[in-house]
């Protein structure tokens, strides 16, 4: 009997280790913060504890997904869910080619594809607040947004082209043990379509003055606002079927 239980437990552990996607996830304690955008009257937003992938999803991982769900391969992907540049850097449906490193972050994926990928791992896309909460940490602090070097680092990446070709895990490990929130690729969030920008083509959206503060000067707070503004403005310009060369994703879990 006991040996049988032992076998069963071993079997269970074996299976769970096979399926465990949590290995490369970092536990985020949660907390409150005031995001640049999205807080009503600048009141702090609460982020509940959750788990976040330590790295963005890579070519190798995405290839495994596409092999398992061929309807997400380049030639089978439906136009409703991704535009024409979906995986356009790949050699063929099941070959990402020699120019792309297997451990580089996957890009040219739509929101629908990213969402589905996460769902099929038993995960989900992080919300914008969750993503921004983790992204404000540097190596030592939960919130490094007012630190000048931190903002300069982010801004210098925004100026660098082609960072998306680099392998994952080469930027800094932040307070939560998460890599590549800055310095590699932009990332999809679950609720990217909750941003309202004034001055863009859609005439009827509510505006948010927070988005337009302090872009003219160069002290640390303004740099911080400017960096965050770039991210929110980028998200605000996206549609769910868009794919671009510098936009990837990672998954989260409750």
Partner 1 sequence: MKGILDQNRKGIFKTAWYFLLVLPIFAFFLVIQSCNKKESTAKEKPISDLSIYNLPSKWTTQNGQNIEMKDLRGKVLVMVMIYTSCKSACPRLVADMRNIESRLPSDVKENVKLVLVSIDPEVDTPKRLKDFSIENKMEGDQWLFLRSTEENTREFAAVLAVNYKKISPMDFSHSNIISVFNAEGELVYQQEGLGVNSDATINKITEESTKLN
- Measured from the CB atom, the residue of 157 and 212 that comes closer to partner 1 is 212
Site size toward partner 1 (CB under 8 A) is 38
Q: What is the per-residue binding string for partner 1 in 84-123, x denoting contact by CB under 8 A?
A: ---------------------------xx--xx--xx-x-
- Decide: is 193 part of the binding site for partner 1 (CB under 8 A): yes
Exactly one of 17, 140, 159, 204 binds partner 1 (CB under 8 A); that residue is 204
- Among 153, 165, 191, CA closest to 35: 191
- Decide: is 75 part of the binding site for partner 1 (CB under 8 A): no
Kindly state the smallest distance separating residue 52's Cβ from partner 1, in Å: 18
- Measured from the CB atom, the residue of 97 and 122 that comes closer to partner 1 is 122
- Measured from the CB atom, the residue of 10 and 94 that comes closer to partner 1 is 10
Sole window of 46-54, 73-81, 143-151, 177-185 interacting with partner 1 (rule: CB under 8 A): 73-81
Sole window of 130-138, 143-151, 204-212, 225-233 interacting with partner 1 (rule: CB under 8 A): 204-212
- 189, 160 in Cβ contact below 8 A? no
- Decide: is 247 part of the binding site for partner 1 (CB under 8 A): no
Kindly state the smallest distance separating residue 4's Cβ from partner 1, in Å: 7
- Contact footprint for partner 1 (CB under 8 A): 1, 4-5, 8-9, 11-12, 15, 19, 38, 40, 68-69, 78-81, 111-112, 115-116, 119-120, 122, 190-191, 193-196, 202-206, 236, 239-240
């Amino acid at each position: 009997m006991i040996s049988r239980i032992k076998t069963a437990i071993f079997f269970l552990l074996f299976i769970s280790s096979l399926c465990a996607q949590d290995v490369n996830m970092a536990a985020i304690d949660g907390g409150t913060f005031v995001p640049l955008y999205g807080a009503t009257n600048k009141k702090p937003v609460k982020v509940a504890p959750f788990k976040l992938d330590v790295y963005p999803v890579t070519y190798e991982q995405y290839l495994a997904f596409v092999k398992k769900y061929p309807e997400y391969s380049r030639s089978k992907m439906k136009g409703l869910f991704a535009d024409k540049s979906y995986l356009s850097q790949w050699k063929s449906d099941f070959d990402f080619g020699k120019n792309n490193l297997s451990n580089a972050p996957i890009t040219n994926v739509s929101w629908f594809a990213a969402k589905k990928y996460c769902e099929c791992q038993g995960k989900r896309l992080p919300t914008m607040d969750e993503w921004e909460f983790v992204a404000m940490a540097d190596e030592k602090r939960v919130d490094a947004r007012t630190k000048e070097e931190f903002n300069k680092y982010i801004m210098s990446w925004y100026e660098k082209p082609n960072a998306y070709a680099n392998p994952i895990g080469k930027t800094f490990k932040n307070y939560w043990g998460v890599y590549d929130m800055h310095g590699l690729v932009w990332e999809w969030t679950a609720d990217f379509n909750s941003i309202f920008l004034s001055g863009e083509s859609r005439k009827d959206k509510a505006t948010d003055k927070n988005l337009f503060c302090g872009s003219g000067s160069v002290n640390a707070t303004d740099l911080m606002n400017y960096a965050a503004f770039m991210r929110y403005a980028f998200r605000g310009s996206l549609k769910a079927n868009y794919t671009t060369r510098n936009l990837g994703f990672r998954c989260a879990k409750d």
